[in-house]
Structures are given as structure tokens and as C-alpha cells.
Chains A and B, each alone.
Chain A
Amino acid sequence: MKKLILLVACAFSSYASYAGGYRVSAQGQRSLAMGHTGVAVINSAELAFFNPSGLVYLENKLNISAGVTGVISNTRYQNLDTRQSADTKNNLSTPFNLYATYQINDWLTAGVAIYTPYGSRVEYENDWAGSDLVNTIDLKSIYFNPVVGIKLHENFSIGGGPIYVTGSVEFDRNLQREQVSTENRPGISIDASNVSAWGWVASATFKPSDAVTLGASYRSKIDIDAEDGDVNFRNADFLTATKFDATLPLPAELTFGFSVKATSKLLLAAEFNRAYWAAYKSLDLRFNGSPGASRNARDYKNATIWRLGAEYNLNEKIDLRAGYYFDESPVQSGRFAPETPRNDSHGFTTGLSYNITEKLAIDGSFAFLYFDEIDESYSNPFAPNTPAFEGTYKSNAFLFGLGVTYKL
């Protein structure tokens, strides 16, 4: 099992940001198919991520859910005035999840969750119009999260656990904006890997009746402190730094939701996420321990996501799912950096489970994210003499998920 986890972690080691900021909502195939609702859906081991306290209400002793999602995210940029345009490339990324839970006794369930909620991979053609802001960024993080759920009462449980995060970041940009195509432009690339940090999750479930579930969950902010990362300057002889320090926040997230069993076959769920992106004020790179920093303003704002989902039990073999969510971008107008080039999105999701046996099911999901075309700009108050980078952006994303659910 351990080997498999490692293999999965290595093979699927890049994830795309197709939602607000660099949050990737693909932490369970069944949930994703239902608009990524899950905090109040007592269904599978996916609860280990969405709401560990709900694990105590699972019917089986052992529950395992594993899955991987292929994400294809596309962004186009153009500026009708300057006649510049660009497309992101190498857009496939693969967030994954693995959950296993075990009911120790009738009031305690323990489990482990491995998932990748934050990540971003955006790659533009080198030396494109906004290359002084970003050529490529590749941010990865894996959460290792042991959890317990404790039933305090027939109708009420709490849960939670510590989170260990390991992450890495690679970032490359040019040092100067240039309008005329020239070769060997000066640039900087930074690379920090095996950065680790700790956080926690706490959650609660209230089940007033068999048909109704209410859930709440809070995942703490985790600061990824990259220390002594590698810096490489190219075509810039007089810049000699080789090491950098930087902090990237993985923001806290608060979720409320409920589900209702409308009929014996139909489950409806609704959910509200609040992501505390205001923690991301600026990306500051400090070189070779010097107190001065290269400061890149972000000024993210807290953002809300509204989710709706439904599950219909077609027959013994097949469960159908569908959902919708509205994902508010944390990026503020005027700080629309092409490294996270996405505005508010509408997510349309669907999927199904096929029960091979009573114990084993295959879960599939599909999602399409629609973004309105947007005219935006990025200006960095720490670089007042560089004009705003302006243009029109249009993005979309497709997600295909495949997973297995095992119950014993």
C-alpha cells in the first residue's frame, strides 16, 4: 500500500489550478460528480477529506476510496491594442486522492486521507507578452491527513486531525518587459522542493433524522515556507543570488452544507465554501538572506463557492450524479496576474458509479468549467514604473475523473 501511495504521488505530481486562485476542487470522484459537495454526504471514504466527523455514520467497517482526475485547463490571452496573444500549453494535470477509514468501535472511526487540494501549473510560451510576470509556474502540494471521527451522540459527531503538507514550487519569468522580440532575454527561475508544513482540520456532523444531514468543516491555513530554494538568473550577469526564501499561503477553508434524502432514491446536497484567500497579500522573494525583497502584489480577497449536487440511485448497479457550482475568484480587479489567470467560473458536473459487486464500485466523473471572457489588468504597486499588463482572458477547463470505492 505504501509503495502504491508513493508511486501515485510520483506519477501524478502536477496539478492545475482551474478554480479560484490555485485551489483544485477534485478531492473525490463521487463528490466531484455532485458539484464537489461532500461535507454532508454520508456515502463513502471521501468524507475523510470533506468531513471526518461524518465517517462514524458510514455503514461499513472498512471504506476505501481512491481516484485520479485528469484536468485540461486552457487559457487564452490577447490584447487588441498591442496585437499580442498567447495560449497556455501543456495543460494536462492530474490531482489525486486516496482515503481509507476503519470503524474501530461504534463511536470511533479512524482513517487516513491523502489529497492534493492546492496546485497550479500554468505554462506560456517563453518570452510571450506577459513574460515579465510569468513564463511558467508549477506549484505542487500533497496533504497527508490522519483523521478520527467521534460520535458524541446518535445525532452528533465531531472529527478532525493533523495535516502534514509536502510541496514544491517552480517559477520562471523574465526580468523585464520587452515589446520587441529579442533573443536571450534576462530572466529568473526559482525552484524549491520538499518544503513541508503542518496544519489541521476539524469538523462536525449533525444528523437530526435519517433523511437530513448537516455538516461543517474547517481546514486551517498552511504557510509553505520555502527556504534556501535555488535561484537561477539567465542573461543577467550582474545578478548573482543563488538562494531564495519565500512564503506561499495555502489558505484556510470553511465549509457548511446539508443534504436531504428527498426520496428513497434521490439525495440532494447544497454547500457553501468560504476560502480565506486574503492571506495571500504578495509573493515576496528574498534573495541570499538579504532583507530586501522582490515583491509581487497579489492582494487576493476571501472568496465564496456555492455548490449544488444530486445523486439518483437508478438501479442496483448504477448511481447517477450531477451538480453545479459557482466559484468566485479570489483575484481582485487590477491584480489579475497571468499566473492564475482565472475569473469567476461556473462548474457543471456529472458522473456515475457502477457497482461491480456490493463491495466494489467504479466511480466516474466529468466536469466542465465555464469562465466568462474578461478584460483585466495586473499592476504591481511595488514596481510603479512598469505599466499595467492588460488584456482579455478566456479560460475553460475539463475534468475527467476515475476512481474506485471499496467497502467491507
Chain B
Amino acid sequence: MKLILKKYLPFAILGLAFTSCEPEFDTSIEDNPITSSKGTADFSKYVAVGNSLTAGFADGALYIDGQQNSLSALLANQMKAAGGGEFTIPLMNDNIGGFADIPNFGPRRVFDVASGLPVLLEGTPTTNALDVQTGPFNNMGVPGAKSFHLFAPGYGNPANLSSGTANPYFVRMASRPDATLLEDALSQEPTFFSYWLGNNDILGFATSGGDSSEEITAVELFTQTVQGGLAQLSADGTRPGIVANIPDIKTVPFFTTVPNNALVLDAEQAANLTGFFRAYAGIVTQGVVLTATMGNPSLATPALLQQANAIGSQYAFTFNPGPNRFIIKVEETLTNPRGIRQMTAEELLVLTINQNALRTEGYGSVAITPDVLGVLGKLQAGGTPTQEEAQSVLNAVNPIADNDALDTGELLAITEATNTFNAIITQTAEAFNLAVVDVKSVLEELQSGIDLGNGNIVSSALGLNSAFSLDGVHLNPRGNAELANRFIKAINETYGSTLKTLDAGNFQTVKAQ
């Protein structure tokens, strides 16, 4: 061994002597600082105002990696070459997401190979909303914020958490409990800002959970908050900034991934299900007659019979081999006493619907048990089922719940609100000389796919080449990079700057863990 050491030592010494002889580039990064010109804008202090899409929310939660790949963080990075300054982010405590001290803010979703579906990450959130971070923060994106929350006093006050008028994300970053979002943005004296609010005014805070029960913001209030917010943020049109509009929910995979006709049947299943609803229709008809005649069907008039038939026959759905549309729950009315119907072609299902139940538990159609089969057999043989047996047939229908679907009425209201709000956003932004990004068009393009070069297509369809994260609402890093490029183009066009775009294909789509 001594021999080895003796031999080796001179080499080690020589090695040390020569490690300084590293190759030099003709033009090194250090010698060649990139220069993007800022045009008429000033990027030295960029403040991003917005909701989850600005914050970097992804995979159903806010977590560090998502925040660092957020649209606004990517933008700020490109601004650095044109005099942009530091971009501070109220980083969460972990890559799990969710809050430890607030109920119902769970971890992010991960892809589960076994089921092929997103599932909740196994892990316990470690971020405390009440552990207020010291700002100010350039990224003022607050997941869940609606347009009017910009002005909402107490939106960051922990005392208001229980009543639901405070937002834990803002609680964690607000400069003081009663500061407003707008105040915390303006007090930083931004030289450039982005404003992207309004999505939640339509979909509601809880949309990422699939419950669209919240009201759409009234047009008057929306107009007021957009005009008031942009007036102050743009200092009445003297401060440069960029404003984004609201996408159409029909281009968001959260609503387009689970088809409304995923009830795929073979010939026998189709015939059985059709037969079931014939029986169901008969039982309903019978029931209407019995109710109207107080249990004496012999008293029924032809008019009553006709009316009862009309009511019952709406449930005699016909199923065909192949894909069939699901049955959904709607309001129970006099004309639709069971409160169910088949979905229309336009109606949508949410991504968070229990897809296993759709596949195996008859969710959206019928959960046929042996008992029910027995009753059907009895009916077929011409027998009369007992009231209990009839009820078991009625109960076997398992319609899709309201919060798992967007029905025609809801869709109409949403489309109308989107168009109205976007008109307000665009008009106001232009009035204040601001750049505008048409995000609605970008998401429409993503429907058919955007070529990032060399046939590398990014699209809205969830999967390895998607622009969307696993929650189907928020973009993944690749989607954020592509959207950041659209922001950059709009900024460059408006202010004559030369911010460089990103190679979106270099950004990941599905997080491996």
C-alpha cells in the first residue's frame, strides 16, 4: 500500500496544480450579460395580483415547486434581463401543499399508476396559515380570490377565518390583519404589475373541489372592482402593466375530461337497462295514478291516465349498445317528480366525480341488486309488485349529483358571465393603456394543441403532454411557460420591450412525485 501511496501522491499534487487550467469559452456568460430592452416599461419592481393561477397553485394545492414554476415567477425571471428585480414569493413550507391548521386544505394530487387517476398525495401538510410570513411579496396571487377581494378588508384577518370571509392564503401573507390585497400590492410601489382576477367570480372558490354552488358575482360589482382596481394599480393609466381575461370553462379539462356519455354498454346491458326504465316508468305512472286517486286506481279518469302516462314515460329512457349519456339529478317538480333525467349533449361532468363509482357502482345509471332483478322478473311475468318492491326499483336509480355536473342552465349563466366580464376587463385595460392577454383564446388553441416546435404538441387533454396539472383547472409548469410566452408577447407589443420567450418544452408536465 505504501508503494501505491508513493506512486499516487505526485499525481494528486500535479492534479491540483492543473485543476486551475480549466477551458475557457470564447464568449462566456459572465462576459456577455443578456440584454433584453425594457422599452417604455420599467420592470424593476414587478408585482403580480391575481388568484391561484398567479400564485402557482397546481395539482389541487399550493406547494413550493408549483409556486416557483408559477406564471408570475417565470415572467419575473424573464424580466431580469431587462432590469427586473427580485421577485419574492410567500413560499409554502413544503411540497405537500395544504394547511396544517386549517381544515379542508389537504395535500396536492399525484398520478396513481394503478388506477390511472390522480389521487391525494400521502402526506401531512406542514404549512400553518396563522404563521404569518414577513413580506412584502411580489407574488400577490391569492388562491380563491375573487375580483372584489382586492378591496376586502379583513380578508387576511385570522379572526374572520371561521366566518369564511378571510382567506388562509392571504392571512399568511398580509402585512397586517386588516390590510387589503390592493393595499399590500400598492404599498410596494410597483413599477409594473399584472392583474388576473375574475375566474373565481364565475366558478366560485370551491370549484377546484367540484362544488359550484357559489353565486356568480353581479355584473355591477364586477365592473366596479375591475375599474377601481385597475385605476389604482395603473395609477390612472400611467403605470405599465398587463391584464389577462377569463377562459371559457368549456376549454378547461376539469369540465371536459370525463365525458357525459361514458356509460358504455353492450347489447345485453343496453336492453336490460332499457327494460329497467320501462318498468321504472310504469311504476311511476302507477304511482301518480295511485296518489291522485288516493289508492283507488279504478277511479282514474282518462285525462288522469294520460297525464300520469306523460309523467311516467319521460323516464322510459332508451339505451343503445355503445356509449350512452348518464342520468343526472335535477330539481324535483310536479312534471318531473323523480327529479332525474338523461344528460344533454352539452352538459358537463367535473373531473372530481367518482369515476370508480361511474364504472362499477352504477353511478349515473342504476345499481341493480338481485332483489331489484326479482321485482323486474315479477313485472315481466305480469305480476303486480308490492309498494315496497316498487320502491326498491325507484331507489335503484343512482343519478349523478348536482355538484358533479354543470347543467344547461348553469352553463348558460357561465357563458354569459364570461363574455360580459371579459368585455369589461378588456375595455378597462385598454382605457388605462395596459397590455392585454387573451387567455381565453390561448385555452381554445390548447384544445386542439399548440406545437412547441419539432412536433412537440402541448394540449389541454390531461396526460404527459398536457398544459394542465392534475387538478384539471390549473396549469402545470409547461402550461405556465407557454402562457408566460403569451404574456411576454403582449408586453413586448405594448411597451416595445424585447423580453425573451421561454422554451416551454423544457418544462415538466406531470410531476413524478
A residues with a Cβ closer than 8 A to B are 4, 7-8, 11-12, 68, 70, 72, 74-76, 78, 80-83, 85, 87, 91-92, 94, 175-184, 186, 235-239, 371, 373, 384-388, 392, 394-396, 398, 400, 402
Q: Given known contacts A68-B7, A402-B7, is B65 in contact with A182 (CB within 8 Å)?
A: yes
Q: Please give me the residue from chain A that is nearest to B8 by CB atom.
A: A11
> Are A387 and B513 in touch, CB under 8 angstroms?
no
Residue of A nearest to B19 (CB): A72
- Measured CA separation A239–B512 after assembly (Å): 9
Beta-carbon nearest neighbor of A389 in chain B: B506
Interface pair B21/A236, CB less than 8 Å apart = no
Q: Which residues of B contact A (CB under 8 A)?
A: 1, 3-4, 7-8, 10-12, 14-15, 18-19, 21-29, 32, 34, 64-65, 68-69, 73-74, 77, 95, 110-113, 452-456, 464-465, 477, 481, 500, 502-503, 505-508, 511-513
A-B contact pairs, 10 of them (CB 8 A): A74-B19, A78-B29, A178-B507, A178-B508, A181-B68, A182-B65, A182-B68, A387-B454, A387-B505, A395-B23
Given contact pairs A94-B11, A180-B74, A182-B65, A83 touches B25 in the complex (Cβ within 8 A): no
Is A238 a contact partner of B113 (Cβ separation < 8 A)? yes
Q: Which of A82, A91, A387 meets B453, CB within 8 Å?
A: A387
User: Does B506 contact A177, Cβ atoms closer than 8 Å?
Assistant: yes
* Contact across chains for A373 and B25 when beta carbons are under 8 A apart: yes
Query: Is chain A's binding surface mostly helix, strand, loop or mixed?
Result: loop
Q: Which residues in A have their C-beta under 8 angstroms from that of B65?
A: 180, 182-183
> In the assembly, what is the distance between CA of A385 and CA of B463, in Å?
12
| Contact B1–A7 (Cβ < 8 Å) | yes
Most A CB atoms within 10 A — which of B110, B503, B511, B512?
B512
**Does B512 lie within 8 Å of A175, measured CB to CB?**
yes
Q: Choose from B23, B111, B481, B512 the contact partner of A394 (Cβ within 8 Å).
A: B23
Taking CB atoms, residues of chain A closer than 8 Å to B74 are 180
Q: Which of A178, A384, A392 contacts B477 (CB 8 A)?
A: A178
Residues of A close to B506: CB separation below 8 A:
82, 177, 179, 386-387
Bound form: Cα–Cα A83–B374 in Å = 73
Given A184-B95, A387-B506; A392-B25 close (CB under 8 Å):
yes
The interface residues of chain A lying within 8 Å CB-to-CB of B14 are: 70, 400
Given A7-B1, A235-B513, decide whether A180 and B25 contact each other with a Cβ distance below 8 A.
no
CB distance from A183 to the nearest CB of B (A): 7
Kindly provide the distance from the CB of A73 to the nearest chain B CB, expressed in whole angstroms: 10
Of all A-B residue pairs in the complex, the 9 with the closest CB atoms, nearest first, are A70-B11, A186-B512, A387-B505, A394-B23, A182-B65, A236-B512, A92-B15, A176-B508, A235-B513
When the two chains form the complex, which single residue of A78, A180, A385, A402 contacts B505, counting CB atoms closer than 8 Å? A385
A180 to B56, CA, bound (A): 13
Q: Which residue from chain A places its CB closest to the CB of B465 in the assembled complex?
A: A385
A78 touches B28 (CB 8 A): yes
- The answer to whether A179 and B502 touch (CB under 8 A), given A238-B113, A400-B11, is yes
Note all chain A residues with C-beta closer than 8 A to B29.
Answer: 78, 80, 83, 85
Q: Which residues of A contact B505 (CB under 8 A)?
A: 385-387
> Distance in Å from the Cβ of A221 to the closest Cβ of chain B?
31
In the complex, are the beta carbons of A76 and B23 less than 8 A apart? yes
What residue of chain B has the Cβ atom nearest to residue A76's Cβ?
Answer: B23
Q: Which residue of A lies closest to B80 (CB)?
A: A83
Contacts of B21 in A (CB 8 A): 72, 74, 396, 398
B456 to chain A: which residues have CB within 8 Å? 384-385, 387
Query: Cβ of A186: which chain B residues have Cβ within 8 Å of it?
Result: 511-513
Complex Cα gap A181–B91 (Å): 14
B507: chain A residues at CB < 8 Å are 177-180
Specify which chain B residues have a CB less than 8 angstroms from the CB of A387 in the assembled complex.
452-454, 456, 503, 505-506
**Nearest B residue to A78, CB-CB:** B29
Known: A7-B4, A387-B453. A371 touches B23 (CB 8 A): yes
**A269 smallest CB distance to B (angstroms):** 27
Q: A386-B505, A386-B506 are known contacts; what are 18 more A-B pairs with Cβ within 8 Å?
A: A11-B4, A12-B8, A70-B11, A72-B15, A74-B22, A76-B22, A80-B34, A82-B506, A91-B19, A92-B11, A179-B507, A180-B65, A180-B507, A182-B95, A236-B512, A238-B112, A385-B456, A385-B464
